[in-house]
Structure 1
Amino acid sequence: MTFGDTGSPVGEALDQIAGRLRTESTRLLLQHWRSIMEENRLPSRNKIDPSQLAPVLPSIWLCDFMREENRFRYRLTGEKVAKRFGHKLSKHYLDDLTDPSYYPRVHRYYRNAVDFPAVLYIYGRLYAETANPIHGERILLPLSDDGLGVHGLIGATAEIIPRQNREAPYLPEFQKHVYVTLETGAIVEESLPV
């Protein structure tokens, strides 16, 4: 049994997160990440099988955590993610791509996923700092080069309710963050206004 298996405290917490997921992108990525975990070890980037994620690759992104610099550098981004920014994010840093007024918030939740370590599920208004925010969900999953420390994140971002009219005023006025700590399976939730 791995620590992410159903029946373990972490596995039961991850099952709860899986039950909240609304999009194929986030569900398939979480399922694949859990399938490549080994006993008491975080999955490695090298274990990711793109063929298992083919239908959702446009919504997936991967970044490295540059611990010495306290920065995140994107390794790759799917087409849907790149389209949000108008270009591929590969080799760009999170702080170069995020509005400076919003960056501390985004950096904090990326760091929480690394430092706990934790799986992070976000629901609500995404890309809130951009001209085209969406009502969506995002999942961040830690990756490790050695199975122990977190060296990067893989994630998926997906729109839940497509806006037919981009001028329509409705979008959630919040983000809900749900962390599953991978040491104990504790669930930590917070709601933040956007």
Structure 2
Amino acid sequence: MKLYIKYMVSNCCKLMVKEKLSALGLTIKNVGLGEVDIDGDVDVTQLSVIQKTLHKMGLELMIDNKLIQIERIKTAIIDMVHYSNEAPEKTYSAYISEKLEGDYPYMANLFSETTGYTIQQFIIVQKIERAKELITYNELSLSAIATKLHYSSLGHFSNQFKKVTGLTPSFFKALKTKKRLALDEILKNSTKN
């Protein structure tokens, strides 16, 4: 059985969820971002216990199929932007469609109707958050960051960064006091709209 979990967007979350669900006596086959494969099925009572356990960790068990699809889209994007060093060999839409084995226009419409913003806007926000993280580490030049995040040029990266944050990347780098949002905060804020 597959469980879908909202706000589960980091490796730390994966470890905590695996530990807590194992402690409940569930046999975990696989843990991914936003989802857990367990051996066998769970009954209503177990589902309630799982929900309460996840809630204590700031996570939510999802049951609505549309919300599950939205979280799967977000998780695929987060995985692509934050955890993959290679550019998708295809367009973002083709990557998402292939990864989730679904019709991209349907997913894009569902995403927009449910969240109030487009998949492309979500990708941009994720890329800028990743850029802020990389700038804060101060290990790469701005050109290297633009390349790593698959921007066509430093100018394109700078324009998009300024549009989202109100600051140029070089000013942000000099500022060093601007706090980044945690991934789970971005997701929580984005679902409240």
Higher Cα radius of gyration: 2
TM-score by length of 1: 0.30
Larger fraction in strand: 1
Tell me which protein shows more helix as a share of its residues.
2
